[in-house]
Amino acid sequence: MEYVHLEIGEDVHALAGYYTPLKELRLPHNGREVLCVIGMSCVESACCGGGTCGYATVPGYIMSWKDSKSESGLPVSQVEPVADDAAKHEIAKTIKETENIFNIDFW
């Protein structure tokens, strides 16, 4: 599966606000590396109010690192989504402990 790396620190605008990827982590897990993107989301205009929160997105295990580019020139890596629930739990625990992020989404 392809993961297109977003520009770190650049806002990505959506209908109700925006999100900003702040850093990418390459976390070791069972002899492999897992890609984790840490960021901040901001809801500015939603019917239920607004606010900000930190997030982590885990595209998966890194198969190749930035070995090609997207049509817009952004780096592309190949990842394998984390399928095992026990592995997801371990990875989420690491993110919670090291980054203090509790909103974690796996591809």
pLDDT tens-place values along the chain, 107 residues long: 999 999 999 999 988 899 999 999 999 999 999 999 999 999 887 666 678 899 999 999 999 999 999 999 999 999 999 999 999 999 999 999 999 999 999 99
User: DSSP states of 72-87 as a string?
Assistant: TS-EEEEEE----HHH
Domain chopping of the chain, boundaries: 2-106
Claim: this prediction has a pTM higher than 0.85? yes
Instruction: Tell me how many degrees the CA angle 47-51-93 measures, rounded to the nearest 5.
Output: 120
pLDDT of residue 52: 86
pLDDT at 53: 92
Residue 101 is predicted with a pLDDT of 96
What is the distance of C-alpha 100 from the center of its chain? 14
